[in-house]
Amino acid sequence: MTTVDLDAVREIAAAVDDPELPHVTIGDLGMVRTVALDAGRVHVTLTPTYTGCPATEEILADVRSALAAADIDAEVKMVMSPAWTTDWITTAGREKLRAAGIAPPAPAGEHPTVMLDLPVACPRCGSRRTRRLGDFGATACKAPFRCEACKEPFESFKSL
C-alpha cells in the first residue's frame, strides 16, 4: 500500500517557478499534465511551452528536486502531445504575466489567427498603440514591443 497523495504531488510540481518568468509557476502556465501512480511509482508528465524554449531541461530538474525534497520518488518527463497552447495559461497566470509587465497571450476562445493581426495591448497602460520591435525577445518565447502611449518597452507572449 502506498500513501502517496497525488494531489500533493501535483501541488508541489505546479508550484515550481518558470525559470524565465519571475513569479510565474509552471502550474500558472498550465504545464503540469498528469500525475499518476504506476507500479508503486509516481509519474509526472509536463508539457513544454514553446518548442525550443531552453528552459525545458531546467524545469524538469527543478520539478525533480522539488519532489525529492518532499521525499517523493517520482519519474518526471516531458510529453510533446497534445501540444501546449497558451489557452492552458490560468487566469491567475495571465494576471501574473501582466503584473510582471509581460502582455499575456490572447484569452482562450479568441481566434489566434485573428489575434496575430491585432495590436498587442500595453500591459502597463492598456493602450493598443504598440509597436513590435522584432521577432524575438530575450527568449524564443516572447516578442519585444514598445508602447507609443506610455513609451515603455515590454514583452509579449506569443499566442499559440
Shorter beta-carbon distance to Zn ion: residue 116 or 125: 125
Can you give 73-107 as a three-state secondary structure string? CEEEEECCCCCCCHHHCCHHHHHHHHHCCEECCCC
Q: Binding Zn ion by CB under 5 A: which of 54, 125, 128, 136?
A: 125
Contact 93, 108 (CB under 8 A): no
Stretch in the footprint of Zn ion (CB under 5 A) among 54-62, 95-103, 110-118, 139-147: 139-147
Residue 99 makes contact with Zn ion by CB under 5 A: no
Shortest CB 152 distance to Zn ion, Å: 5
Q: Which three cell numbers stand for residue 33?
A: 499534465
Residue 147 makes contact with Zn ion by CB under 5 A: yes
Residue 98 makes contact with Zn ion by CB under 5 A: no
Shorter beta-carbon distance to Zn ion: residue 64 or 142: 142
Q: Which three cell numbers stand for residue 157?
A: 507572449
Stretch in the footprint of Zn ion (CB under 5 A) among 10-18, 65-73, 104-112, 120-128: 120-128
Q: Which three cell numbers stand for residue 18?
A: 518558470
Nearest to 105 by CA among 10, 5, 28, 35: 28
Shortest CB 120 distance to Zn ion, Å: 11
Cα(138)–Cα(124) distance, rounded to whole angstroms? 19
Question: Helices (DSSP H) in 15-90: which residue ranges?
Answer: 56-69
Which residues here bind Zn ion, judged by CB under 5 A? 122, 124-125, 127, 147, 149-150
